[in-house]
Structure 1
Amino acid sequence: MEIWGPITQGQVAFCLGFIPIIAAWVYSELSECCRKHYSFSSRLNSADGLDDFGLRRNGSDSKALLLESGNLRSSSTSVRFFLFDKTFYSDNRLTLRAMSEIGVILVYFFICDRTNLLGESTRQYSRDIFFFLYFLLVIVAAMTSFTIHHDKSPFSGKSVLYLNRHQTEEWKGWMQVLFVMYHYFAAKEIYNAIRIFIASYVWMTGFGNFSYYYIRKDFSLARFCQMMWRLNFFVALCCVVLDNHYMLYYICPMHTFFTLMVYTVLRIFNRYNERGSVIAIKIGLCFLIIIVIWEIPGVYDVVWSPFAFLLGYNDPSARTKYSPMHEWQFRAGLDRYIWIIGMIYAYYHPTVERWLEKLEEAEAKLRISIKAFVVLICFVMGYAWYEYIYKLEKYTYNKYHPYTSWIPISIYICLRNITQSFRSYSLTLFAWLGKITLETYISQFHIWLRTGGPDEQPRKLLSLIPNYPMLNYLLTTAIYIAVTHRIFQLTNILKSVFLPSRDDKRLVYNIVITTIIVMILYTLSWACLNVPKMMG
């Protein structure tokens, strides 16, 4: 087996951590099997049999479920791990299983993308096949997962909520399918549409985070850490195991940055957030900060150069070389304003909801006239945007995108919510896919496509069935979706374990212990790589 690229310190550290974890999990599973076998034998041999066994089992299982559900409660957790405490391994079996699964998945990523064990093929674009596959999925989704939701607005309880969760998840889902298919088939002709889809995701970052913090007012350490975990846990592991820079997965730093901006803006003087004038000032400051950084020459370099170690990136296989910070300037710059537009939409969300309720209660003639007028305005604006902006060559289009991406997004929102019926319908297959967009984005690079080396963009396809492109597409896609869904589940399982919601003391302890363990692993990996060289 040939490995593309040198073995790195991070990869050795991962192995040093992964091998004990998987060994501990195997040990915990064997211990559990032995425990069940012993309990079963005791049951058969017990004089009071079923009743006594039932009582003992209920008590022990309740305790085990509490421990396995997430919290490593004892302050001597790490000590018990290294002392091979049998009870500890048994109690935390599910946690060890989840950690082992993540490790196995990362090994699979490495085999697919960094070795020659599996084949590769060239991307080929056929407009006919591309849209046939996509609309086939739409038809299947419509026939099998068309759902009518009856969730009422929390503001009045009268109508289906405008921009409800089912709708936004579905929105993310159908966009994500086109996004990853664009990469798989190299469908360059829809480049401008992909830019709109990414802007929509960033819009939802502003909209969703503003709505949460404005309504819930939860600025706790636990909530902040859980938010960062969701965005960066798996991508950080991919960077370590596959020796990639963070910016290869540019969606992750983009969403992290814009999420931090929303959090910071609402966190400062949050007790005054109920005042409209304060929100207006905060939103104005967001615009001002972005304008100063991205629009005034020279400011960008001053602000972002200290973060070059994290955000710097160059594709080794690219013909044209830019400065390491060009990628971040370009990617984040394309959608630098749309997250603020999302915040504005979130702030006025209750107001729009009340307008829609009044509209639904109006007489039929007036209601139909207003809705027809809104639809007409949307089509006129959409046509003008399509003719004069969207059809531009991509480099020219990119210059206008930061200032115009709100137009198609607003048109879609208006048309998608124009009637009660439209608001209540969704295709749950796309909504399901919309929940795993982060995982599908990261995983596509390594188990659906192939990069072929550290920091390289994916330009090849993973080939499990050579010379049968459609069968290969079917098989790799099935594996890809199954794996990404499992990553989503494991990320949430481990989040509940290591980042408890209501125990800040435990949270800080876990962060400190994890940091110490990571430092020890990297120190040992450095020794493994360098001591033999020095002795030689």
Structure 2
Amino acid sequence: MPDAYSFDIAVGRYQNSCDPALADGHWEGSPSPRATWLPNACYLHPYTRKEATTCLANSRVVFAGDSTARDVFNSLREKIGADIEQPDKHSDVFVKTKENIEMQFYWDPFWNRTDVLSKEQHYGGRTEGGYEHVNALMVFSAGHWFIKHMGESGYGQFGHALDGILDMVASRGHESGAIADMVVVRPVNPVIPAKLISTRRAISRSKVDAYNAYLRKVIGQPRVVEDIHVPEYVEALYTAAAQHTSDGLHYDQRVLLSEVEMYLNRRCNPILFGKSPAGKATCCVRYASIGWRQWATVLGLGFVGCLGWAWRSFGSASQGDRSRLKRLMVMGLPSVDLSKDVTILALGLLYMLIVDRTAYLPKINKYFSVPTFTFLTLLYLVPGFISLTPRKDTTFLSRYQTDEWKGWMQLAILIYHYTGASSQPVIYAFIRCCVAGYLFMTGYGHFIYFYTKAEFGIKRVVNVIVRLNLLSALMAYTMDKDVLFYYFGPMVSVWFGVVYLTMRIGRAWNNRPGFVLGKICASGVLCAILIQEWFFQPFFSVLGAATGVEWDARESVFRLALDRWIVFVGMGVGLCVCYLKSGAVDVARYRTHAIWISVAALVVYTLFVTFLQSKFVYNSYHPYVSPIPVVAYTILRNSPILASRTSAFFEWIGKFSLELFLVQYHVWLGVDTKGLVGLGWGGKWTGFLVLGLVFFGMAYTLEGISGRLVKALAAGDWSTAVGRTALAMGVMILMNRAWWFA
């Protein structure tokens, strides 16, 4: 395997160094049971059981030493799901998993068992097909027993035992390659004297420090041939973990698990993510080189924008009226204002590329904490309430209300993503209802338009679809991602198509409420039947063969099925609103009842989600229960007391909520939303403020640009609009096919 330390590892100020980047970290949430060690300069990938076993499959993991080695061994064993009956604490442990991972622990507190060294010297041979039972990881950990049982002579005996390990590693390296992919000699665990029992009082901090200083002096930095090292990141981890030990010597599971995660990142990141680390890890792995398609998207847009601006501003007058070049320029180049927009758009995409695909800004892990989440929530609620403004338009779900609704929901989603709150079932359920709220407005708004205006022109379809997907498509090409990764635009596009077809089919009878209600119900049932992998997979396969895209049918079905009913509920509410406006029913008579029912519904829903054990359990209920809080909110928001005022701040945010949702992926968040972008100086909150201002300013700017570009594409009659859109899509398909063949 490639040596982790030999990579040109791009982690900001720790260029070419994996270990110092891991060591420069801090405890987040200490001393709670959820505490974790987080590096300050790179994103530590949290390994799943599947990822860990994939990396270690067909290999051997060997630990030798005292109880500190056994603790880390057991933590790794539990991580990969290798269950055993609890053995005697001074016994060897051997276990083999179904992935053919051999885990071995040798009880060897004095590093003097010759059978450990002799056995492991003969392991680790390579075969032509790759590795077969190679030692993936060897960990040696001892020291406390030398101090406790050997007194003053322990220091010399420790050095002698260490020499034996180094001789074994060196001899194996000279004969036929390294004895293991990664050999670790752990620092001696620091002790907390006040917590030590009387029989361990001889183990002092000064002696532990002396032993560790000797380890660093003898071994130093990782060797070039044999990757043997004293991990400074482990020493940093334990030095700052005084609150995580109850007996002053052994540390709790959070510390052990953090150590295991760093071993896995150091050994496995180059193996699993070396070719494509984007969106997975930035610790101990190089950033991937930026591909030609990514550069072509950014530089192509920039070139067109700059050329259009320069020629429209200075070059058009220098050519004769009958010049072929002039006619070509007039037809192909955008106006001066649009050229500026295209250039700024290219700069925005370039900024995303630099932020999330290079090492110029560090990427760090998220960590959820209730105080942080509460503070950020209050941070956006305060200006929202302060800016409440009287409105004359009090119609049901007026433009003021829908923009406000989009605004506060988008801010809630941003805080949810930034704080990593997806692990909290109640918050997750609330955010899922926010997404349902967006889709409710999709069904409601487009239904009202088609129902009242009866206008089904193709130009509107092009305008809506392009507006929803223009920025996400350009970001997909720039960031080398699937366009479905930015799922919101494609998902809303599908539901817009459903609303359009539902209202267009049989449109001659749309003036009959009963007929329209029947269409809505039939459409809902049909979509519930067709939102299945067997329906989408053939279409995606054909599309992939024709265009080179690789869309995931399972993920698409998950996204659509999760909110399979809410769009139709929005259409139904729209139909009810139109019917009630006709005066057929005395609305005032039932208003009070509706308000109290809505309050009760919100209370019942809140109690329901509070007792759910996980977000995965909630997902099974969400399609059926999400209409309850959404419809209840619309009724309460339009009650006489609340309908007369809306928040100007939330309305402003709502006008560019789509761009906020998209741009967050690579500007405020990092590692494709898994982590956060930092500044590398000033701390987390400085990065939050500075990068947050850039993020909001960028999203606001791109909203205006996207709107003007869509308007330009859709200008003229419907055939011209379709032609321009088809040309743009054709260019993207050609780029995708060229990339696919390359």
Question: What is the DSSP-based 3-state SS (H/G/I as helix, E as strand, rest coil) of the residue aligned with 2:447?
Answer: helix
1:11 to 271, 291, 294: 294
Alpha-carbon shift at residue 354 of structure 1 (Å): 6.2
1:403 to 624, 628, 635: 624
Contact 2:349/2:478 (<8 A) preserved: yes
Residues 495-514 of structure 1: per-residue CA shift (max 9 Å, x gap): 121211x5234324423544
Q: Does 1:418 align with 2:418?
A: no
Q: Does 1:247 align with 2:490?
A: no
Contact 1:311/1:328 (<8 A) preserved: no
Map residues 153-302 of structure 1 onto 2, 5 A cutoff: 160-187=394-421, 188-189=423-424, 190-294=427-531, 300-302=532-534
Aligned twin of 1:61: none
Separation (CA, whole Å) in 1 of partners of 2:400 and 2:458 = 28
Question: What is the DSSP-based 3-state SS (H/G/I as helix, E as strand, rest coil) of the residue aligned with 1:219?
Answer: coil
- How many residues are paired up? 447
Question: Identity of counterpart residues, as a percentage?
Answer: 26
22-31 or 234-243, larger mean C-alpha shift:
22-31
| Cα distance change of structure 1 residues 462 and 309 upon mapping to structure 2, 3 Å threshold | farther
Contact 1:337/1:403 (<8 A) preserved: yes
| Cα distance change of structure 1 residues 11 and 387 upon mapping to structure 2, 3 Å threshold | same
1:458 to 659, 673, 678: 673
Q: Does 1:31 align with 2:323?
A: no
2:569 to 334, 337, 341: 341
Separation (CA, whole Å) in 1 of partners of 2:541 and 2:332 = 39
Whichever residue aligns with residue 658 of structure 2, its letter is L
Residues 139-189 of structure 1: per-residue CA shift (max 9 Å, x gap): 22322x2211112xxxxxxxx201211111111111111111100011232
Question: What is the DSSP-based 3-state SS (H/G/I as helix, E as strand, rest coil) of the residue aligned with 2:639?
Answer: coil
Greater RCO structure (CA 8 Å; 6+ sep)? 1
Question: What is the DSSP-based 3-state SS (H/G/I as helix, E as strand, rest coil) of the residue aligned with 2:665?
Answer: helix
Alpha-carbon shift at residue 244 of structure 1 (Å): 0.5
Contact 2:533/2:554 (<8 A) preserved: no
Aligned twin of 1:102: 345
2:720 to 491, 506, 511: 506
Contact 1:205/1:259 (<8 A) preserved: yes
Q: Does 1:120 align with 2:363?
A: yes
Map residues 332-481 of structure 1 onto 2, 5 A cutoff: 332-353=560-581, 358=586, 371-393=591-613, 394-419=615-640, 421-451=641-671, 457-464=672-679, 466-481=681-696
Alpha-carbon shift at residue 324 of structure 1 (Å): 3.9
Alpha-carbon shift at residue 516 of structure 1 (Å): 5.6
264-273 or 303-312, larger mean C-alpha shift:
303-312
Whichever residue aligns with residue 106 of structure 1, its letter is L
| Cα distance change of structure 1 residues 306 and 23 upon mapping to structure 2, 3 Å threshold | same
| Cα distance change of structure 1 residues 260 and 519 upon mapping to structure 2, 3 Å threshold | closer
Contact 1:335/1:402 (<8 A) preserved: yes
Q: Tell me which protein shows more strand as a share of its residues.
A: 2
Whichever residue aligns with residue 303 of structure 1, its letter is F
| Cα distance change of structure 1 residues 442 and 272 upon mapping to structure 2, 3 Å threshold | same
Alpha-carbon shift at residue 522 of structure 1 (Å): 6.5
Q: Does 1:305 align with 2:520?
A: no
Contact 2:447/2:499 (<8 A) preserved: yes
Separation (CA, whole Å) in 2 of partners of 1:519 and 1:182 = 35
| Cα distance change of structure 1 residues 375 and 219 upon mapping to structure 2, 3 Å threshold | closer
Aligned twin of 2:392: 150
Alpha-carbon shift at residue 412 of structure 1 (Å): 1.1
Separation (CA, whole Å) in 2 of partners of 1:324 and 1:383 = 37
Q: Tell me which protein shows more helix as a share of its residues.
A: 1
| Cα distance change of structure 1 residues 178 and 19 upon mapping to structure 2, 3 Å threshold | closer
| Cα distance change of structure 1 residues 355 and 403 upon mapping to structure 2, 3 Å threshold | farther
Whichever residue aligns with residue 396 of structure 1, its letter is V
| Cα distance change of structure 1 residues 82 and 4 upon mapping to structure 2, 3 Å threshold | farther
Whichever residue aligns with residue 718 of structure 2, its letter is D
Gaps of 5+ in 2: 1-7, 11-285, 545-550
Alpha-carbon shift at residue 213 of structure 1 (Å): 1.2
Separation (CA, whole Å) in 1 of partners of 2:541 and 2:478 = 18
Whichever residue aligns with residue 237 of structure 1, its letter is L
Provide the aligned C-alpha RMSD in A.
3.3
Alpha-carbon shift at residue 357 of structure 1 (Å): 9.7
Alpha-carbon shift at residue 306 of structure 1 (Å): 2.2
Separation (CA, whole Å) in 1 of partners of 2:487 and 2:736 = 25
Question: What is the DSSP-based 3-state SS (H/G/I as helix, E as strand, rest coil) of the residue aligned with 1:422?
Answer: coil
Contact 1:180/1:441 (<8 A) preserved: yes
Separation (CA, whole Å) in 2 of partners of 1:514 and 1:176 = 29
Alpha-carbon shift at residue 132 of structure 1 (Å): 2.1
Alpha-carbon shift at residue 417 of structure 1 (Å): 1.4
Question: What is the DSSP-based 3-state SS (H/G/I as helix, E as strand, rest coil) of the residue aligned with 1:336?
Answer: coil
Separation (CA, whole Å) in 2 of partners of 1:308 and 1:499 = 27
Separation (CA, whole Å) in 2 of partners of 1:232 and 1:379 = 37
Separation (CA, whole Å) in 1 of partners of 2:505 and 2:591 = 40
Separation (CA, whole Å) in 2 of partners of 1:311 and 1:256 = 17
Whichever residue aligns with residue 200 of structure 1, its letter is G
Contact 1:247/1:311 (<8 A) preserved: no
Question: What is the DSSP-based 3-state SS (H/G/I as helix, E as strand, rest coil) of the residue aligned with 1:464?
Answer: coil
Alpha-carbon shift at residue 101 of structure 1 (Å): 1.1
Separation (CA, whole Å) in 2 of partners of 1:382 and 1:311 = 43
Contact 2:349/2:475 (<8 A) preserved: yes
| Cα distance change of structure 1 residues 31 and 96 upon mapping to structure 2, 3 Å threshold | same
Question: What is the DSSP-based 3-state SS (H/G/I as helix, E as strand, rest coil) of the residue aligned with 1:150?
Answer: coil
Separation (CA, whole Å) in 2 of partners of 1:113 and 1:137 = 26
Question: What is the DSSP-based 3-state SS (H/G/I as helix, E as strand, rest coil) of the residue aligned with 1:147?
Answer: strand
Contact 2:298/2:478 (<8 A) preserved: no
Whichever residue aligns with residue 676 of structure 2, its letter is L
Alpha-carbon shift at residue 372 of structure 1 (Å): 4.7
Q: Which TM-score applies when normalising by structure 2?
A: 0.56
Separation (CA, whole Å) in 2 of partners of 1:425 and 1:438 = 24
Q: Decide which structure has the larger Cα Rg and report it.
A: 2
| Cα distance change of structure 1 residues 333 and 93 upon mapping to structure 2, 3 Å threshold | same
Q: Which TM-score applies when normalising by structure 1?
A: 0.76
Gaps of 5+ in 1: 39-73, 152-159, 295-299, 313-322, 361-366, 452-456, 531-536
Alpha-carbon shift at residue 267 of structure 1 (Å): 1.4
Separation (CA, whole Å) in 2 of partners of 1:356 and 1:139 = 41
Whichever residue aligns with residue 294 of structure 2, its letter is Q
Contact 2:380/2:411 (<8 A) preserved: no
Question: What is the DSSP-based 3-state SS (H/G/I as helix, E as strand, rest coil) of the residue aligned with 1:447?
Answer: coil
Question: What is the DSSP-based 3-state SS (H/G/I as helix, E as strand, rest coil) of the residue aligned with 1:116?
Answer: coil
Contact 1:80/1:88 (<8 A) preserved: no
Separation (CA, whole Å) in 2 of partners of 1:311 and 1:333 = 21
